[in-house]
Amino acid sequence: MLVERIDTIKRLLEIENKWKELLQKSKANDLFLTPEWIISWWKIFGSNRELYLLTFWVENDLIGVVALYRYRRGIFQELTFVGLPDQSDRVDFICKDGHEEECIMSCLDYLCDNVKWDVLNFRRLGAFTDSMNILESALNDKKLKYTSGIDGAYPYLDLKNYNGYDDYLMKYFKSKHRGNLRREGDKIRDVLKAKWTVRTQVDEKIVAEMIEIDVVRSARGQSGNIFFKKAENRLFVNELMQRMEKNNYICLFTLEINDLIAAYSLAFNYNQKILNYQMSYDDQYHREGIGVHTIQQSIKYAIESKLDEYDLLLGEEEYKKRWSSGIRSSKYCIIYGNTYKSYLLYKYMIIVESLKRKIKNIQ
């Protein structure tokens, strides 16, 4: 097996088609691992970081991709996955089915033999794969110290059991809830004169309207917990839209009142799923339930498009639980190198984890 480290966007673009083919042969086939996502993220967030995107080849066959970058945090040299800490909800090792063990072991071998680091900070890992079990086995073989545990939660709605949208409403909601949804929908349509749109193309004007809702008009904006407040996130979404549009991945659901967007759900149509990435709505219409209506209409779109799943992505907010039929989990694995600094950090983290368990038991 040949391991190639890629550190330029030019080389990423050269292997883009092989990368996409590999995703189709991998259990880790997720939106956040696509070339479009990785390249967009690196273009915006890559400054002052070193790209360590490792590719694994058998002759001309690409059998693995691990997208990492190195950065300095305080006194520590860390490596983590491209997309973390904030923009990618999930990450993983992309391995051709059946080659997971050799790719993950080769990745560790390469990092231990060729790269200077104190910590491998692997989070949001393995929601669809057995990567964590394979990784922990490899770490034990190499006698590397690590801490691990449950990380993120991903509510989702399995759509395969419903014979159309009406069947979904009948099976999923009680009659009282169905009545409330219907009355809210009638009011939004007939009183507010709202217009429902599904967009597969997004220009800078639309993004600007989304930013204005999120930062100025939403309840979240008033509290300060805002995705679009950071200039880098705004640049990232603009860059991402350009790349995603070429592959018809964009699925932006908007509710417009008086020709202005009042609510939106920025979602993506990938691998027979709708992934609801980021949403917001004008707080002046919260009594009319336009946030609920936006999710409801996007689920209706997914069912009528005969997709397999509606994925609400990272987070256990109550509204996500209300619309989901199951929850996936990812894990974290913090790996400590053979340095004095790493050893001290490892001991500190063991103490922290022990205190967390004691507090949890007391509660």
The alpha carbon dihedral of 62, 247, 294, 181 has a sign of negative
Give residue 362's pLDDT.
Answer: 75
Assess if residue 130 is contained within a domain: yes
Average per-residue pLDDT in the chain?
94
Name which of 45-59, 127-141, 215-229, 330-344 the model is least confident about. 215-229
List the one residue out of 310, 248, 321 whose CA is nearest residue 276: 310
The predicted pLDDT at position 104 comes to 98
- What mean pLDDT comes out for the span 245-270? 95
Residues 116 and 78 reside in one and the same domain:
yes
What is the extent of the structural domain holding 93?
2-151+331-362
252 phi/psi in degrees, rounded to 5: -95, 115
165 and 146 within one domain: no
Residue 278 lies in a domain: yes
- Give how many domains the chain has, as a whole number: 2
Q: Average of pLDDT values for 42-56?
A: 97
CA separation for the pair 221, 94 (Å, rounded): 36
Whether 320 maps to a domain, the answer reads no
What confidence category does residue 356 fall into, taking pLDDT thresholds of 50, 70 and 90? confident
Do 347 and 294 have their domain in common?
A: no
User: Which pLDDT belongs to residue 69?
Assistant: 98
Convert the pLDDT of each residue in 65-114 to its tens digit. 999 999 999 999 999 999 999 999 999 999 999 999 999 999 999 999 99
Whether 361 has a pLDDT exceeding 90, the answer reads no
147 and 165 share a domain?
no
Query: What pLDDT, on a 0 to 100 scale, did the predictor assign at position 271?
Result: 96
Does residue 175 lie within any of the structural domains?
yes
Give the mean model confidence (pLDDT) for residues 150-171: 94
Q: Please compute the mean of the pLDDT values over residues 40-63 and round it to a whole number.
A: 97
- 28 and 90, same domain (yes or no): yes
In this prediction, residue 225 carries a pLDDT of 74
Same structural domain, 72 and 194: no
CATH of the domain at 244: 3.40.630.30
119 lies in the same domain as 98: yes
Residues 142 and 184 in one domain: no
What are the tokens at 352? 């922290």
Q: Which two tokens stand for residue 15?
A: 């292997």
List, for residues 177-228, the tens digit of each pLDDT value.
Answer: 999 999 999 999 999 999 999 999 998 899 999 999 999 999 888 777 789 9
**Same domain, yes or no: 87 and 223:** no
202 and 244 share a domain?
A: yes
Residue 319 within a domain: no
For residue 353, is pLDDT > 90?
A: no
Residue 345 identity: L
Question: Per residue, what are the HEC states of the chain?
Answer: CEEEEECCHHHHHHCHHHHHHHHHCCCCCCHHHCHHHHHHHHHHHCCCCEEEEEEEEECCEEEEEEEEEEEEECCEEEEEECCCCCCCCCECCEECCCCHHHHHHHHHHHHHHHCCCCEEEEEEECCCCCHHHHHHHHHHHHCCEEEEEEEEEEEEEECCCCCCHHHHHHHHCCHHHHHHHHHHHHHHHHCCCCEEEEECCCCHHHHHHHHHHHHHHCHHHHHCCCHHHCHHHHHHHHHHHHHHHCCCCEEEEEEEECCEEEEEEEEEEECCEEEEEEEEECHHHHHHCHHHHHHHHHHHHHHHCCCCEEECCCCCCHHHHHHCCEEEEEEEEEEECCCHHHHHHHHHHHHHHHHHHHHHHHC
Q: Are residues 133 and 167 in the same domain?
A: no
The answer, yes or no, to whether residue 328 has pLDDT greater than 90, is yes
Residues 282 and 198 in one domain: yes
What's the pLDDT band for 363 if we cut at 50, 70, 90? low
**Total Cβ atoms within 10 A of residue 69:** 21
Q: And the tokens for 229?
A: 């407040």
Q: In this structure, are residues 31 and 248 in contact, taking their beta carbons and an 8 Å threshold?
A: no
353 or 208, which is more confident?
208
What is the mean pLDDT of the segment spanning 153-182?
A: 93
Indicate whether 139 pLDDT > 90.
Answer: yes
CA dihedral of 175, 178, 179, 183, whole degrees rounded to 10: 180
Judged on CB neighbours under 10 Å (0-12, 13-18, 19+), 212 is: middle
The pLDDT of residue 354: 82
Name the band, by pLDDT with cuts 50, 70 and 90, for residue 260: very high
Q: Is residue 62 part of a domain?
A: yes
- Residue 352 is predicted with a pLDDT of 86
Give the tens place of pLDDT for each residue, 303-323: 999 999 999 999 999 989 999
What does the alpha-carbon distance between residue 81 and residue 125 come to, in Å, rounded to a whole number? 9
What percent of the chain shows pLDDT beyond 70?
Answer: 100
Task: Reply yes or no on whether the pLDDT at 252 is more than 70.
Answer: yes
- Is residue 324 in a domain? no
Give 358's pLDDT tier (boundaries 50, 70, 90): confident
318: in domain: no
Chain CA centroid to CA 303, Å? 22
Amino acid making up residue 100: E
The helix (run of H) or strand (run of E) holding residue 23 is helix 16-24
pLDDT exceeds cutoff 90 at 299: yes
